[in-house]
Amino acid sequence: MVDNFKHLENKKIGIIGATGFVGGRLFELFKKNNINPRILVRNFSKSAELSVYDHSDFYGDLLNRQELEKFINGLDICFNCAHDFTESQENMLKGIQNLVELCLVNNTKIIHLSSVAVHEPFQISNNTIDENSKFCDNTNIYGSIKLAIEKLLIEYQKNKNLDLVIFRPTNIYGPKSKAWTIGPCNKLLSGEVILTEKSKKSINNLIYVDDVCSYMINSTKYIFMEESIFLINGPDSNVSWYDFYDIYQKILKKNSLIIKDEKIILKDNRNFLKFLINGFKNISMYNDNKITSFIIENLKKLPNNIKSKLKIFQKDFSSKLGKPIFYPNMKEIQDYRSTSYVNSDKAAKFFNFTPTSFKQGMVKTKDFIEWYFEKLN
C-alpha cells in the first residue's frame, strides 16, 4: 500500500458511480491498494468491469432512501461520482438531499465530483477562470444542474456542519474516458472531424483521470466544515483543441482532421436539411435546435434496450448518407474560440499536488488506445 492510502486502512469507504469513468478508476485504485470500498449499483448490467475484483455492492439509487440507508450505514467516507443525464433536476436534487441527510446521521464525509461546466461557456478573450468566476445560466443544462447540486450541498455544510469537499474538474481524459478519449478516437477512425481555424489558438483545459482520483483521495486527510470548492485542471495552458485531436490522430495513424471556416459551418447549420443530415452523424448537434433537442431529451428517457436499437439504426442510416463528417455543435464552436485557462492553483497548493502534464498523460493514454482499438478489431 502506498503512503497516499495508508491513512484509509481502517476506514469504511463507499463509492456512488463506480460503474462510471472516474468512479470506476477510483474503485480500481482502492482495490489495487488493498482497500475494499462499498459500491452502490443501480444497474448490474453496467458493472461487468468491476467483476474482476471481489467487491461488496448494494443495489439501489439515491431516490430510494431505504436502499441508500443500507449503503451509507457505517461509512466514514462517501465518494459521489455519479450523474444521471436522463434524470430531471428535481429528482437529482431529491437524491442528493437523501444522501446528505443520511450522511449527517452517520457522520459520513462526502467527497463530491462536480464539473467546470458550472462556469461555462468561457469568455472568448484571454481570461483566467477560478472558483469565483461567473457561473453558467439555465441554457447550460448540465452546468446548471451541477451548480444547483453544489448549492444544496453547501447549504448543508454551512447550516448542519456537513463534512464536505467539492471538486470541479476540467475535461477528464485518459484510459476508458468515453467523452475525451474513446469518443474522439472513434470519430477520427470512422470519418472526418471538422475543426475551426480558431481551434489552433484555443486552450483545451485537460486533466488526467488519475489526477482527479488523487485529489479526491488526498481530500480524505482533511475535515471540511466551511465552504470548500476546488477547480482542478492539468498544468498545461498551451494545449489547443487542435493539438488535442491531432495527437489522437497521430496515435491512430489517421489523417482525419479538416479545418473549415467557422462562418461556413454556422451557415450550413442554419440550413435545416443540412443540419439534420450532419446532426444524424453527430447527434450532439441536435442540442442546438429546440425541436431536435426536445426529441433527443425524450429519447434519453427510453429503456436501454430501445436506446441500443436506436443507436444501431442511427449508425446504419448514417453510413448510407456517405462518409461520416463530424461537424461541431455550438458548444464545440464556442470551445474552439476560447483562450480561457482554468486556474487550479488553489487546489494544487492546498493539497501540495502536482498534476500530470498532458505529454505524460498521453504517453499512458497511448497504450490504452492501441490496446482498446486493436481489441475491437
- Give the C-alpha separation, 182 to 187, whole Å: 9
3-state secondary structure string, 261-330? Answer: CHHHHHHHHHCHHHHHHHHHHCHHHHHHCHHHHHHHHHHCCCCHHHHHHHHHHHHHHHHHCCCCEECCCH
Assign residue 25 the CATH number of its domain. 3.40.50.720
The one-letter amino acid code at 116 reads: V
Quick check: is 83 in a domain?
yes
**What ranges in the chain are assigned the alpha helix state H?**
3-6, 21-32, 65-72, 89-106, 141-160, 183-190, 209-218, 241-251, 262-270, 272-281, 290-299, 304-320, 330-337, 345-350, 358-376
24 near 172, Cβ under 8 Å? no
**Does 257 fall in a domain?**
no
Task: Answer yes or no: is 222 within a domain.
Answer: yes
> Does the residue 113 lie in any domain?
yes
d(CA 129, CA 3): 32
User: What was the pLDDT predicted at 204?
Assistant: 96
122 DSSP assignment: P
Cβ contact 358:234 at 8 Å = yes
Q: Give me the domain span that covers residue 37.
A: 3-172+207-236+340-356
Flag whether 50 is in a domain: yes
Q: Which of 374, 370, 310 is nearest to 175 (CA)?
A: 370
* Domains held by the chain: number: 1
pLDDT at 50 over 90: no
Q: What is the pLDDT of residues 216-238, one digit of tens each?
A: 999 999 999 889 999 999 999 99
pLDDT in tens, 247-265: 999 999 999 999 999 998 8
Tell me: the pLDDT tens digits for 285-299?
Answer: 787 778 888 888 788
| Three cell numbers, residue 69 | 440507508
Residue 326 lies in a domain: no
Task: Assess if residue 181 is contained within a domain.
Answer: no
Helix, coil or strand: residue 123: coil
Answer whether residue 327 is part of any domain. Answer: no
Residue 28 has pLDDT above 90, yes or no: yes
